[in-house]
Chains A and B, each alone.
Chain A
Amino acid sequence: EIVMTQSPATLSVSPGERATLSCRASQSININLAWYQQKPGQAPRLLIYGASTRATGIPAGFSGSGSGTEFTLTISSLQSEDFAVYYCHQYNNWPHTFGRGTKLEIK
């Protein structure tokens, strides 16, 4: 199965600053990658699919990039509501696999 590795595990950033989260696949997954945001007590929320396409209703401050094995989620100017855990998910091959998440916390 494809192993998804997210880094860092925890990222401390001040409100208003930019955050860059990384996700690496153990083999090429083309652009078949999604990003989800999860807040405490809530279900994951789709942010990005196809590596770079924002889901419906997702603010323009969220952007995704990458292809093959290296992917990035960038949040351009952090708002208080953006502090959460972010997961990447590959859907290029069975089985579906997720990264272990990056916790974005307030600095």
Chain B
Amino acid sequence: QVQLVQSGSELKKPGASVKVSCKASGYTFTNDALNWVRQAPGQGLEWMGWINTYTGNPTYAQGFTGRFVFSLDTSVSTAYLQISSLEAEDTAVYYCAREDQTCTSSDCYPNYFYPWGQGTLVIVSS
């Protein structure tokens, strides 16, 4: 079955970096986009952006530029989210989610998210 499995919880100090992984199985990894979604404690879902798993090109949502980097290792069907210069406000659960976009030669059109990874809790605390 189609599945996304994320890496485990992380406890980091302010200023450090963290890299979260999301391993896909059950489908051709490079056929579908991979999104990242943040959920702060007790809050709703916030879209961080997506990465084109065929080209490796990332797109970042407003508010997620600079310290956030999406990357891939297609040889192991895995996507990564790296956050540098961690702040207490980065404490959240981070989810990856697959998106079956429709793409033309010039553009890609958004779609719903299915499935989601189980989430990775990142705690930033001194």
- A residues adjacent to B (C-beta < 8 A): 32, 34, 36, 42-46, 49-50, 55, 87, 89, 91-101
Contact = CB atoms under 8 A, between A and B. Distances in A.
Interface of B is mostly: loop
B112 A91 contact: yes
Interface stretch (B23-31, B42-50, B65-73, B77-85): B42-50
A89 B99 CA distance: 13
A32 B45 CA distance: 18
A95 B47 contact: yes
Interface-centre pick from A44, A46, A50, A92 (highest chain B CB count, 10 A): A44
Contact of A93 (B46, B47, B110, B111): B110
Contacts of A99: 44
Interface-centre pick from A34, A50, A98 (highest chain B CB count, 10 A): A98
Contact of B46 (A34, A42, A98): A98
Interface of A is mostly: loop
B90 to A, nearest CB: 19
5 contacts: A46-B116, A91-B111, A96-B110, A98-B44, A100-B44
Given A42-B118, A43-B95, A46-B113, 14 more contacts: A32-B110, A34-B112, A34-B113, A42-B119, A43-B116, A43-B117, A44-B45, A44-B116, A46-B112, A46-B115, A46-B116, A49-B114, A91-B111, A99-B44
A92 B101 CA distance: 11
B16 interface: no
A98 B118 CA distance: 19
Q: Which 7 A-B pairs have the closest CB atoms?
A: A34-B112, A91-B110, A43-B116, A96-B47, A49-B112, A98-B45, A46-B114
A101 B111 CA distance: 19
A45 to B, nearest CB: 8
A87 B113 contact: no
Contacts of A100: 44
A10 to B, nearest CB: 13
Contact of B112 (A42, A43, A89, A101): A89
